Structure 1
Amino acid sequence: MTDRTAEEATRIRWLKAVVIGLGIIFVGLAVLLLVLIMTGGPKRTTPAAASPPRAVAVEDLTMTLPKNSRIADVLATGNRIVLRVRLMDGTERFYALDGETLKPLGSVTVLVEK
């Protein structure tokens, strides 16, 4: 009988180790699930569904640039269009336009220190 009890004791030790290991895994997965629920899950990098472009009536607009200046760059980001204008004295001015209506939002002048 001593062989049988020793064998059963070994099996019980292994069973306890397996149950404890599975318990730790279960608690870890529960914590992970709670964290994902609380933070909103992983962030998607691609848009889920792109909205179709909507028709916007754009009127004819006029924008007057300073004398002897030229447009150096046109940048579009999101819903904004930025014009980089190089002035005659070497300074640069950035004009921000709304991407849908093309109305000016504002401008920033970058002066060159002399």
Structure 2
Amino acid sequence: MFEELTAADLERLRGTTEGWYVEYKREIPQASSIAKSISALANTYGGWLFLGIEELAKDNAVAGAFPGVPCANADAALQRIRQAVADHMNPAASFRCARDRRRRRRELRI
């Protein structure tokens, strides 16, 4: 199940630096990396892990490009994330996913 993201939500990320509450990943990482990112957010004050969003530059870690996750792969990606959390976290963290439905590719927000 996905919540909705809007174009305005994504545009705001161009001014949002990756840090304590926000992490950008261009592609879906390996299971252990997914669990590590979600665990780090869950063990602090929460936050957002955006998949399918590329940083502008290493020295300017705001959202620069939105290649997204192909819609055909989105459900499999969500299953991979759920499995990573179940296999690599104890207790498993609670998370929600969102997408930009108007695009052919989805940005997954965890």
TM-score range, shorter chain: under 0.3
State the TM-score, normalizing by the size of structure 1.
0.18
Q: Larger radius of gyration, structure 1 or 2?
A: 1
State the TM-score, normalizing by the size of structure 2.
0.19
Q: Which has the higher contact order (CA 8 A, sep 6+)?
A: 2
